[in-house]
Amino acid sequence: MANHKTYNKQKKNITLNSGVVLTYNLTKKNIKRMNLRIHATGDISLSAPRSLPLRTIEAFLLEKEDFILRSLHEIKVKESLRKEDARERMEKAYAYAAAHKLLVKRDRHGNELIGRMGFPGSYFNGMPYISGRQEMAALLANVSAAFNKTYALDLSPAKVSVRIMKSRWGSCRPSKGSITLNGLLYYVPRECMEYVIVHEYCHFLEANHSQTFWNHVEHFLPDYRERERLLAEYEPKLMPVS
């Protein structure tokens, strides 16, 4: 006999503490916990257990207000970047460099840096700074705490280094207890930076990319596939030369 799943889907509005009216798609189904997804389009989906009352759902959204508003802002930034072609971005970058008397640095691969790497106002290959050093440090601390709590292990890497890499966003050496992150992550949205950090931490649990590895990633980031797709959009812009 076929198993027909029936979901209760509704469009809801909630006024956040900041006064912003948020529209989201609520789906009630047979699950044990809530799952919040913010799509690249800016649409918000929330899956919740069938019996969960609306007041509990709204309390959850209010608790996530900062994350939701920050994510929606980053989506607007990304959308504006999509609408600009490479020439327009470079014109803005050069104008910024001229206004602030900054030198344009170009490496042997043709990559171009304006300003200080990873600091507000800087550009890399015409792409503006989005997520910085403090954000990376905070995400590392949060991810480390989450892993230690979940697995009751000390998974804090002995060493975290940041450097420019031409072909990968991060790497992990479980035997050395070390993680290397690409400095170009300063120029991608926060959710992409978080995905890379979680990805590398999961290698402390599984050194390969087996299904078990991806199950660990999905446990911490249920929307990791969407984040991975978004990160792939930045790769040709930030790492155009292999």
The predicted structure's pLDDT at residue 235 = 86
Asked if pLDDT for residue 4 goes beyond 50, the answer is: no
Question: 233 exposed, middle or buried (CB, 10 Å; 0-12, 13-18, 19+)?
Answer: middle
Q: Which of these ranges, 20-29, 35-44, 89-98, 176-185, has the smallest mean pLDDT?
A: 89-98
Q: Is the pLDDT of residue 61 over 70?
A: yes
Q: Which residue has the tokens 């929330």?
A: 46
**pTM given for the model:** 0.60
Q: Residues 160-189: what's their mean pLDDT?
A: 90
Each residue's pLDDT tens digit, 9-38: 899 999 999 899 999 999 998 898 999 999
**What pLDDT is recorded for position 240?**
66
What is the distance between the alpha carbons of residues 147 and 71, in angstroms, rounded to a whole number? 23
Q: Are 189 and 78 in contact (CB under 8 A)?
A: yes
Residue 84 has pLDDT above 80, yes or no: no
CATH second-level architecture of 133-238?
2-Layer Sandwich (3.30)
The tokens for 109 are 């691969």
Average pLDDT taken over every residue of the chain: 84
| Separation CA 63–CA 67 (nearest Å) | 9
Please tell me which residue, 116 or 170, carries the higher pLDDT value.
170
Neighbours of 183 (CB within 10 A): 17
241: confidence class by pLDDT, cuts 50, 70, 90: low
Share of the chain above pLDDT 90, in %: 37
The predicted model gives 98-114 an average pLDDT of 74
**Would you list the domain boundaries of the chain?**
8-72, 84-128, 133-238
Question: What is the pLDDT averaged over residues 106-121?
Answer: 77
Residue with tokens 């609408």: 83
**pLDDT at residue 180, as a whole number:** 94
User: For 140-144, what is the mean pLDDT?
Assistant: 89
Give the per-residue pLDDT at 12: 93
Q: What is the pLDDT of residues 147-172, one digit of tens each?
A: 888 886 676 766 889 988 888 999 99
